A and B are shown apart, each in its own frame.
Chain A
Amino acid sequence: EIVMTQSPATLSVSPGERATLSCRASQSINMHLAWYQQKPGQAPRLLIYGASTRATGIPARFSGSGSGTDFTLTISSLQSEDFAVYYCQQYNNWPPLTFGGGTKVEIK
């Protein structure tokens, strides 16, 4: 099973600042990585797939990069609606599909 490790667990950022979230896979997953945003009481929302492709309707301030084992989600200028929990997920080696433990982005 591929273990996905996200860091940091919590990220405190001021509105308008840049946020950088990390996700590491226990072995290479090529570019088969997705990022999701989840707000309290809501289902996850797909932000990025294929490591760097924005999903439909996702603002350009969200960008993904990386390949192999190390990946990054960058939010260029945090808006109030971006404070949420973010998960990465690999879909290269399965079963199982696996998610990271999440990074909570909170207001500084």
Chain B
Amino acid sequence: QVQLVESGGGVVQPGRSLRLSCAASGFTFSSYGMHWVRQAPGKGLEWVAVIWYDGSNKYYADSVKGRFTISRDSSKNTLYLQINSLRAEDTAVYYCARPVGATAMDAFDIWGQGTMVTVSS
């Protein structure tokens, strides 16, 4: 079945780095733009970043621009989020999400279960 599985979260000290992964299965990963969305504890959803189906375009939320890098490896059906210079306010569950159709900027019909990132000294 169509599935997204995130990994790579954990407890990290401020200023350190982390790489999150999202393994996709059950669909043609290389045909879809992919997104990261995060949710701080007890808060709402915040869109983080998108990468086009072929990696040709990437966009970021202002709150993460310059510190986060989204990438993909279609040979491995995997999406990544490199997070540098971690801050306390980056503490959140990070979800990867797939849009409904081939248009990258769309509603998200497939979500992973999320991976928790906690930034704490």
User: How many Å from the CB of A50 to the closest CB on chain B?
Assistant: 8
Per-residue CB proximity of A28-62 to B under 8 Å, as 1/0? 00000010101000011110011000011000000
Q: How many residues of B contact A (CB 8 A)?
A: 21
Complex CA gap A38/B100 in Å reads 18
Check if A89 is an interface residue, CB within 8 A of chain B.
yes
Within 8 A of A (CB), among B63-109: 95, 100, 105-109
* Nearest-CB residue, chain A, relative to B100: A49
Asked whether A56 lies within 8 Å of B61 as measured between CB atoms, the reply is no
Check if A87 is an interface residue, CB within 8 A of chain B.
yes
Within 8 A of A (CB), among B42-79: 44-47, 50, 59-62
Asked whether B62 lies within 8 Å of A96 as measured between CB atoms, the reply is yes
Given contacts A46-B109, A49-B100, contact A97 B44 (CB under 8 A): no
Check if B113 is an interface residue, CB within 8 A of chain A.
yes
Asked whether A95 lies within 8 Å of B44 as measured between CB atoms, the reply is no
* Nearest-CB residue, chain B, relative to A87: B45
**Complex contacts, B59 vs chain A, CB 8 Å:** 94-96
**Complex contacts, A102 vs chain B, CB 8 Å:** 44-45
Asked whether A43 lies within 8 Å of B112 as measured between CB atoms, the reply is yes
Given contacts A43-B95, A43-B113, A46-B100, contact A96 B108 (CB under 8 A): no
Check if A66 is an interface residue, CB within 8 A of chain B.
no
**Complex contacts, B35 vs chain A, CB 8 Å:** 97
**Complex contacts, B47 vs chain A, CB 8 Å:** 95-99
Asked whether B107 lies within 8 Å of A95 as measured between CB atoms, the reply is no
Asked whether B46 lies within 8 Å of A89 as measured between CB atoms, the reply is no
Check if A68 is an interface residue, CB within 8 A of chain B.
no
Q: Which chain A residues have a beta carbon within 8 Å of chain B's beta carbons?
A: 34, 36, 38, 43-46, 49-50, 55-56, 87, 89, 91, 94-102
